[in-house]
A and B are shown apart, each in its own frame.
Chain A
Amino acid sequence: VAVLPDAGFAATAPGRQPAARADATATLTEVFVNSARTQFRLSVRSAFSVGLMLSTIPQAVVIGWIAEQSPQQSQIEYVAFGALLNAAWTAGLLRIGWSLVDDMRNGVLQHALLSRSPLVVAMAGRASAIVSLAAVAGVVPFLVVWLVSGVDPPFDRLWLVVPALVGSLVSIMIVALTLMPLLALEQDKAGFVNALVPVGSILSGFLFPLSAMPGAVEFLARVLPTSWTSELVQLASDGGSIGEAAARIAVALLVSLAWCALAVRLFLIVERRMRVNGSLQP
């Protein structure tokens, strides 16, 4: 697919554009990378803001203290990794959820719409940058839970822990990407995203096993790819087998693909609505 090179322009500040190419075309990969790179530059400072770091500590202290009461060490490890993912979920979802709306408000979404690049690719690049930086905010609650609970890190299972955490971050990015067009379609955005963040956090099972929830709620949670990747983290904490991990990875991939298809569909609705109306207001 040949598209114009300014596809990542939606993620750029005025006056900042990706370098132009001689043939004036870009592949989807370049669109993704350009968008991610630009968003990374824009967000890297706020990712290390004191307010963001501080905001994760109180809850981490509380959940670390509760987990420390548990007789099982694996439970504490799971909560520590969960605290990281929960913070990444909260920070990532809030920022990604608002980014399309912010573009509309700042009047820079026109550039993305004028481009022939698919909006969803540029936004996926942006989402990847935001979630990567949101994971930085997760390091603080992770360390706080370790400090409060005082257990040893599971260095012997890093081969499973690291892929599980990376998979969880990717699934967070996919869910957040799907929510972007929903926010643009929804009128009262603040209430919408503020309610989704804690609900999604609970349903994802970042901080407790899904089996702790009632059956109907657990069934609902299975729709989220994050719930499957959270189970992967739990397996890593419990020392699960490769077969169990592979099964969950396969299901997580399938569910993630379904969410990606939904995201593409929703972005098409947003683009069509704006272009037909001739207005950036949904």
Chain B
Amino acid sequence: MGEFFDRPRLSRECRWAQRHMSDYLDGDLAWSRRRRMERHASVCPQCRRVLAMLRRMVGALHRVPPPAGGADARQIAASVRRRLGEPPPP
């Protein structure tokens, strides 16, 4: 799975940036590393683009609605309620 990180055309700084993008987006990078990421993104269009896509994707994931179909909560509760007296599986 190294193809996401280790493409030969990436510079060492690009590889560093792409390994730390999640931490950057989650606010988990120390100040000096944040600055390093921002400096790099300001001069590297490729990493800036990857970072922007990641940010957009994580934003979209936050808005994914619950899967449709299947049982609803009350149906599950009713089924579970009926089975509470069952002995545990061996």
| A joins B in a complex | no
Give chain B's interface residues, CB within 8 Å of chain A.
Answer: none
Give chain A's interface residues, CB within 8 Å of chain B.
Answer: none
